[in-house]
Structure 1
Amino acid sequence: MSILTTSKERVTTGLVLVAAVLLIGLINNFYLMWLFLGVVYILAFKEAMKLFDIHSSSLIYFAAGLWLIAAVYPLSDDLFVLAGVAYASAVAFNRELSWKNFLPFIYPTAGMLFILSMYQEYGVMSLLWLLIVVAMTDIGAYAVGKSIGKTPFSQTSPNKTIEGVLGGVAVATIAGMFVGLSIVDLGISIIISFVVAVSSIFGDLFESSLKRNAGVKDSGDILPGHGGVLDRIDGYLFGAIVMLVLLRGLV
C-alpha cells in the first residue's frame, strides 16, 4: 500500500471518528454515551487480550456483563475494584485460574470505567476537556518533535523526543486550560490539564511497551490508517483516571 493511500485512509478515518464523537457529545444522552463507550471498550478489551497473549474467549462475556452493570450503577469506577475483589476470590477458590487473565480488567477496563464515571459526575464538558488535552498532547508532541526534536525520550518509543514531549505537554496545558474553565477555576484548570497531559504521554508509552512485548506494530487493524482501538485511546485510558481523581480531590 502506498504512503499516499495510507495517508488518505488515516485522514478519512480520523474525520469519521471526530464526527462521530462530536455528534454523540452534542446529543449528550447517557445511554447513547454508554453504548458508544461500551463498543469502544469491548473492541479495546479484545485487543488487550491479544497483547497480553490471553486466549480465554469467555472473558469477553464477563467484560460485557461488567459494562451492563455500569449502565445502572452510579459510580462506574467502583466496579473495577469490585471486579478485582471478585477475581481474587475466584483465584483463591480455584488454583487453576491465572492472574494473567485479569490483566484486561485492569487495562483497558479501569480507564473506560473512569471515563464513563467522569461523564456521570461532571458531564460532557469534562469529556471534551479530556479529549482536548490528550489530542493536543499528541499533536503538539508530533509537531514539535518533527521540527526540533533531537533527544530520545524513551527506548520504549524511539520516535518520541524530549523536545516533542515538552512541547506537547505545553500546548495541551494551554489548550486544556481554556476548556477546563467551564468546570473549575484557572489554577485548578492549569494543574489538571498539565498532569493529564503528562499522564497521556505515559499512557501512549505503556501501550507501546505492550506492543513491543507482543511483537506487533499496532494493537489491531479495525481503524484503517490508524491501527487498533487501543492505538487511538491509549492516552485517554491513563488521562481519564488522573483527571477524575484530581477533579474529586481538588474541586
Structure 2
Amino acid sequence: MSIFKEHSERIVTGLALLAVVLIIGFIDNFFLMWLALGGVYILAFNEAVKLFGVEKDGLLIYAIGIWLVAGVYPYGDDLFVLAGVAYASAVAYNKELPWNDFLPFVYPTAGMLFILTMYQEYGVVSLLWLLAIVALTDIGAYAVGKSIGKTPFSPTSPKKTMEGVVGGVTVATFGGLFFGLSIVDFTVAFFISFFVAVVSVFGDLFESSLKRAAGVKDSGSILPGHGGILDRIDGYLFGAIIMLILLRGLV
C-alpha cells in the first residue's frame, strides 16, 4: 500500500497505457496499429528534437513523410537506412547542413520503424513478447534494486544498481520465455529474451544520457507520473531492433 501511495499517479497512468495497448493488440488491425504507433512516434520525435538541441524547424514534416511511406512499404526498417543515405548525400552537397539535425531520424525513428516491421512480419504476439520483456526488466530491476541493490551500475543513471539490473534481466529472461514459445522454440526464446532484456537496460541508459546532456529530468510531461513518451518507450526502441534482427537470423 505504501508503494501504491508513493507512486499512485505513475501506477494509474501505467495501467491506463496497458489497457490501451491490450485493446489495440486484441483488435489486431494493421491500420490501427500503424496509426497508434505513428502517434507515439510523432510525439517521441518532437521530444527527441528538443533533447538533441535541434534548432531547425520543419523536421516533423519529414518524420510524418517517413511514417506515411512505412504504412505502404513492406520493409519499414529499410526506410531508416534510406533516410541516412539521403541525408548523407545532402550533407555532401551542402556542407552547411549539421549532422545534429539527423539525430532524431536515428532515435527514435529506427526503433519505431523496427517495431512496425516486426508487427508486419511476426504479428501482434511478437509485440506482446517485446512488451513483456521490457516491462519485466523494469519491474524486476526496481524490485530487486529496492530490496538488495547496493552496487552502482552506471554514473549515467545513479539510481540503477548492478543487483537490480541482474535481477531485472533474470526475471525478464524467464518471464519472456512464456510469450516467446508461441513463436519460437525454447532455446531461441531464451536467447532472444535474454539479449532483448539486456539491450533494453541500455536503451534506458541512452535516454538518461540524453536528458543529462540536455539538463532536463524528463523528456516531456505528457504522461503523468512517467514524464514524456521517450521516458516510457526508451527500452522498447533498443529492444525492438535487437529482437527483429534475432528473429530474422534465428527463426
CA-to-partner distance for each residue in 1:147-185, whole Å, 9 max, x for gaps?
000000000000000000000000000010110000000
Where does residue 72 of structure 2 map in the other structure?
72
> Aligned in 2, Cα 1:32/1:212: closer, same or farther, shift over 3 Å?
same
Where does residue 52 of structure 1 map in the other structure?
52
* Paired residues for 1:100-249 under 5 Å: 100-249=100-249
Q: Secondary structure at the match of 1:158?
A: strand
**Comparing 92-101 and 232-241, the one that deviates more:** 92-101
Letter in 2 for 1:9: E
Alpha-carbon distance, 1:146 to partner: 0.2
Q: In the aligned structure 1, how far is the partner of 2:127 from the partner of 2:56? A: 32
> Aligned in 2, Cα 1:179/1:49: closer, same or farther, shift over 3 Å?
same
> Aligned in 2, Cα 1:103/1:162: closer, same or farther, shift over 3 Å?
same
Letter in 2 for 1:208: S
Say if 1:6 and 1:225, in contact at 8 Å, map to a contact too: no
Letter in 1 for 2:97: L
CA-to-partner distance for each residue in 1:185-211, whole Å, 9 max, x for gaps?
000000000000000000000000000
Q: In the aligned structure 1, how far is the partner of 2:189 from the partner of 2:10? A: 32
CA-to-partner distance for each residue in 1:107-162, whole Å, 9 max, x for gaps?
00000000000000000000000000000000000000000000000000000000
Q: In the aligned structure 2, how far is the partner of 1:141 from the partner of 1:58? A: 39
Alpha-carbon distance, 1:95 to partner: 1.7
Alpha-carbon distance, 1:29 to partner: 0.2
Q: In the aligned structure 2, how far is the partner of 1:187 from the partner of 1:56? A: 47
CA-to-partner distance for each residue in 1:80-103, whole Å, 9 max, x for gaps?
000000111111112221111000
> Aligned in 2, Cα 1:214/1:6: closer, same or farther, shift over 3 Å?
farther
Return the TM-score normalized by structure 1: 0.97
**Comparing 93-102 and 34-43, the one that deviates more:** 93-102
Alpha-carbon distance, 1:61 to partner: 0.4
Say if 1:156 and 1:205, in contact at 8 Å, map to a contact too: yes
Q: Secondary structure at the match of 2:158?
A: strand
Q: Secondary structure at the match of 1:77?
A: helix
Return the TM-score normalized by structure 2: 0.97
What fraction of aligned residue pairs are identical, expressed as a percent?
73
Unaligned 5+ runs, structure 1? none
Say if 1:169 and 1:194, in contact at 8 Å, map to a contact too: yes
**Comparing 66-75 and 86-95, the one that deviates more:** 86-95
RMSD: 1.2
Alpha-carbon distance, 1:24 to partner: 0.2
Say if 2:4 and 2:11, in contact at 8 Å, map to a contact too: no
Q: How many residues align structurally?
A: 249
Letter in 1 for 2:116: L
* Paired residues for 1:87-98 under 5 Å: 87-98=87-98
Unaligned 5+ runs, structure 2? none
Alpha-carbon distance, 1:68 to partner: 0.2
Letter in 1 for 2:145: G
1:83 equivalent to 2:83? Answer yes
Q: Secondary structure at the match of 1:160?
A: strand
**Comparing 125-134 and 89-98, the one that deviates more:** 89-98
Q: In the aligned structure 2, how far is the partner of 1:5 from the partner of 1:95? A: 54
Where does residue 39 of structure 2 map in the other structure?
39
